[in-house]
Structure 1
C-alpha cells in the first residue's frame, strides 16, 4: 500500500522540505528585490537571446523547480515594467505594498472561488466593499463588487444604468430602439466608450461634451446637448462624471452634474478610477464634493491605493437594480439554507464573473496594517510633489506647463524657443524616449491641443522631491544635446 502511494502521481512537491527551502529563498529574494528597487535599472530593453527564450515550444516533461526559478531570475526579473520604482510616472499605476503581496500569497494558497458560498473569503470581500462604500460616503445599503480594474467597474455600473433607466425589461426584450444616450466629457477614459459599445448602443450612444480650459466638462454645453437630444427623440439615461481624467487629472464639477441628473432623472455615474480613492486625502476630498450623490462609482485600487494588480471596485446605491442586471441562478448554483452553499448575496449575482479570485485579501490586510489615514497622507504627499515639479518647471524659461496640474498629474514640455510645433513635438518625444532608454526615469506622455508633452502621473509612495530634480536636470541635458 505504501509503495502504491509513493508511486501515485500528483502536482504536490515530491520533496516538501526542498520545495519549502526554495520558497524561503524566493521570499528572501523578493524582499531584496523590492527593498533595493533603486539599485536596479528602472527599465531596459530585452536582448535577442532573452526574447528568443520566450519562443520555445510547450514543455511536455518536468523540469527541476530550482532550474525554473533560475530562468525566472535571468529572463524575467531584470526586465520589469518598472512601476515598483519611485521614478515610474508613465501609465497611472500604484507601486504595491508588502502586505498586499502577503495577501495575494495567501489568496493563492487558500485558492477560493469568490462567486459565492458560506466561507471566510466571502466575508472578507463583503467587509472590503463596505470600507469602500464608507470612503466614498455611500450608504451601507449600497451594493458593491471587486473586479479586475476600472474598465470592468465602469462597465458594470453602466450596465446597471442602462437596465434601470431604459424604461422596460431590457434583459428579457433586448434593445427595442437604439435611442439610449450616455454623456461624458471629451476627456473621458476610453473604457467608457468600449462599455457603451458593448452595451449595444454603439459609439454614437456616448455623447462627448467639450471641456473648459481646465479640462473639466462644460456644464452649459452638457445641458444644451441633453435638451437637443430629447427634442430629437433620444432618451438620455446617464451622465458620467470623471474624478481625475487620465490626461491631466481634472475633476469634473460633480455637484453640478448631480444637480442635472436629479432634474432630468438621469443616472449619475462617477468614473473614479484615478481619483475617487483620494477621498482619503484632506487635500483632494473637497474637490470631490458631489461624489456621494452619485448612483454608482468605479474605483481602481491598484492605482492610488497601491494594491498589487489586479483589483478594482464598483459600488452602486440601487442594490436591487444592480442585482437584477446580473443575477442568474441555474440549478447548480441554487442556494441552501445551511452548509457551504448557504448565504443570500453571492457575488456572482452582481457581475459577469462566476469564477472570481480572492482579490479582497490584499486590500483587507493592507488597510488593516497601514490604516486609511496613512494612505490618505501618501496621496496628499503625491499632490504636493506634483506642485513641486510644477514649480521646477515654472522656474525655467525653457520649460512650460501644458495644462493645469490636476491632482498628481503634471504635463510639461521643453521649449527652447524658435522651433515649430512639429519640431517641438519631435524634440520632446525624443527627450522622453531617451530618459526612458537611459533608465533615468519612466515619464509618460500625451498630446494636448496638438502639443506633445511629458506627462508625469505621480502615484508612488516611494518617490522623493530629489527624483523630480533629477528629471528636470535630465530634460535639460538631453534637450540641449538634441538641439542642432
Structure 2
C-alpha cells in the first residue's frame, strides 16, 4: 500500500500531519512511472483508438459523489482516471480530429508540464529563473514577428484573454492612464472596427471592458472572407462625423470560420491615417509565419501594435499557452502596473528583479506556461513546426481538391490556410442542407474522424480544421469516404 500521509493525527501538535509528501518515496516513484508509462502508451497507440466516444452513464456516475474527507490510495485515483477519464477525452490529440482549431500537443510539452507542476512556480514576479524562461520566449517572439526591442509580451490562458488585454491597452492609449480610476467618459463614445468574421471573443471583450459590444463595428467581409477595406474606411469617416471616437482596428490573421487573413498592410495604413491602435487576432494562423510556404500570407503582421495568438494551436504546445505581443511594453505598464505594500520590490534577494509580469497584465497568480513552450521550441525547432503547418495546409488543399472532384460535394468557401468548409449536396445537388449536421453527428459517433458544423453564408457546412501535426492523408480519405457514405443513407435525410 502506498501511504501518502506524512504523519498521524493526534492532539499532540508535534505529531500532527504537517506535510502532504509521501511516507514512502520509493513506492511513489514506482507509481509515478506507471502513470507516465500509461500516458506514453496512450499517445503511442492513438491511431488504434476512436477520436471520440461518448462516456457511459456508469463512468459519469463515478464523478457525482460527495466531497472526499478521508484519503484514497493514489494508485486507486490513477486507476479511476485511466479507466474512466482517459478513454473519453475531447479527441483533439487524435489525427482524425478536425472539428475545432485545437493543437495536438507533443510528448515534449507533456513532460515539460510535469516539470513545471513539480516546480510549482508563481510567475507573477520576483527574482527566479522561471521568469527568465518567459523573458526568453518574449525575445524569441519578437524575433519571429520582427518586432522592435521595445516590445513586450505575456503568457495568458489563450487568445480570448489576450484579445481582451489588448483592448484594455488600446483603450488606455487613447484615453490615458486616468481612465483606470475615472472610468469611461460619457462622451465621446469609443468605437472600434473588426470584420464580421471576427472571433466571438472580441465582442465579448468589449462587453467585459464596459465599452459595450455595440461599439464594435463589424464590417462586412469580401468574397475572400477578408474585411472590406472600403467599407471600413467609410465606417470610420461616418463615426467621426457623428461624434464618436474611433480608437481601435482589429485585424484577423486566420478567421476561425474559413481561415481568411485580412489585408494587414492596408489595415496598418488606415490605422495610421486615423490614429488608431492596430491589433491583430492571430489565434488561428499567426504562427504560420514560421513556414517558408505560408509566411507571405501574413505580410504586414510585423507592423501591428499588438498581436494575440496561441502556442497551443499551431505551436502544438499543450493547453493552455496563449500569448500577447505588444509593440511597446510601456503601454502594458501604463495599463496594469500598480503599487501594493505586499508586492514591495527590493534591490536584491527574492523580491528583486526588474521585470514583474503582474505589472504587464491582469494576473498575479500565473503558472509556468513558458516552460512547455520553451521545451517545444527547443526540442523541435521552429523549422519543424513551420513544416508541420505547411503540411496541414497542403492536406487542406488536397481535401478541397477532393471535394471539387466529387459530384455529391460542394466547396463553400475559399481555402486560405488549413480550414475547409464544404457540404454534402447529393449526386443531383438537391440533398437537403440539414443533412450535413446529421452527417457530422454520425461521424463523431463512429469515431474515425471528427469535423464540426458551421454556417457559411447561412448554409450548414462541414468544417474541417486541420491543425494536428499527426493528421495524414489517410484521415482526409476517411473524412471524404465517411461523408459520402453517410450522405447516401436515406434514413439520415430529413423529412
**TM-score category of the 2 structures, normalised to the smaller one:** over 0.9
Which of the numbers 120, 123, 134 marks the counterpart of 1:114? 123
**CA separation in 2, counterparts of 1:371 and 1:46?**
37
> SS at the partner of 2:265?
helix
- Which residues in structure 2 correspond to 1:237-316 (within 5 Å)? 237-316=247-326
Structure 1 position 298, deviation (Å): 0.4
What TM-score does the superposition give when structure 2 sets the normalisation length?
A: 0.95
- Which residues in structure 2 correspond to 1:325-404 (within 5 Å)? 325-404=335-414
Which of the numbers 456, 466, 476 marks the counterpart of 2:484? 476
Structure 1 position 99, deviation (Å): 1.0
Structure 1 position 286, deviation (Å): 0.6
How many residues align? The count is: 481
> SS at the partner of 1:184?
strand
Q: Is residue 52 of structure 1 aligned with residue 51 of structure 2? A: no
Which of the numbers 172, 178, 183 marks the counterpart of 2:193? 183
Q: Check the 8 A contact 2:239/2:246 in 1, yes or no.
A: yes
Which of the numbers 99, 109, 122 marks the counterpart of 2:108? 99
Other-structure match for 2:215: 205
Q: Check the 8 A contact 1:104/1:362 in 2, yes or no.
A: yes
Structure 1 position 264, deviation (Å): 0.8
> SS at the partner of 2:268?
helix
Q: Check the 8 A contact 2:177/2:334 in 1, yes or no.
A: no
- Which residues in structure 2 correspond to 1:56-205 (within 5 Å)? 56-166=65-175, 169-177=178-186, 179-205=189-215
Q: Check the 8 A contact 2:408/2:429 in 1, yes or no.
A: no
Q: Check the 8 A contact 1:390/1:410 in 2, yes or no.
A: yes
- Which residues in structure 2 correspond to 1:404-443 (within 5 Å)? 404-416=414-426, 424-443=432-451
> SS at the partner of 1:442?
coil
Q: Check the 8 A contact 1:197/1:205 in 2, yes or no.
A: no
Other-structure match for 1:447: 455
**CA separation in 2, counterparts of 1:235 and 1:7?**
63
Structure 1 position 10, deviation (Å): 2.1
**CA separation in 1, counterparts of 2:271 and 2:345?**
37
**CA separation in 2, counterparts of 1:93 and 1:122?**
27
> SS at the partner of 1:447?
strand
Gaps of 5+ in 2: 1-6
Q: Check the 8 A contact 1:325/1:350 in 2, yes or no.
A: yes
Q: Check the 8 A contact 1:142/1:317 in 2, yes or no.
A: yes
> SS at the partner of 1:256?
helix
Q: Check the 8 A contact 1:129/1:146 in 2, yes or no.
A: no
> SS at the partner of 2:87?
coil
Which of the numbers 468, 471, 475 marks the counterpart of 1:463? 471
For the aligned residues, what is the CA RMSD? Answer: 1.5
**CA separation in 2, counterparts of 1:86 and 1:419?**
30
